[in-house]
Amino acid sequence: MKKELRIKKNKEFQEVFNKGKSFANRQFVVYVLKKEGQDHFRIGLSVSKKIGNAVMRNQIKRYIRQSFHELQEQIHKGKDYVIIARKPVAEMDMHEVKKSLEHVLKVARVLKKTNAGHNEE
């Protein structure tokens, strides 16, 4: 992901936590904060040491980034997202992570409706 699409500073994370709205499912908690005058979305990732060793945590972060990359056309721009991974994510593969993230983003109403449907083969 490009640098401008990431949230890195603790201050920026805290702003999203304090002012944003949270949505959750069993695998993820997503905080969403609307940013006026921002023409793209940014994401911040938080994967606790409780989930696994560094290799496992980095793999989970790669899965989340890849899921956002694949969904980027559907995700509303002008918002900051902080994604917190929960323990069950450790047993999931890329496809399951994407499906779960898609679910929690739909709950948060930040995915645009697509007209494509499920016609792909």
pLDDT in tens, 39-52: 889 999 999 999 99
pLDDT greater than 60 at residue 10: yes
pLDDT level of residue 37 (50, 70, 90 thresholds): confident
Structure tokens, 79: 């918002």
Query: Per residue in 69-119, pLDDT tens?
Result: 999 899 888 999 999 999 999 999 999 999 999 999 999 888 877 655 544
The CA-CA-CA angle for residues 95, 98, 104, to 5°, reads 140
Would you state the pLDDT for residue 121? Answer: 39
Q: 47 forms bridges with which residues in the sheet?
A: 85
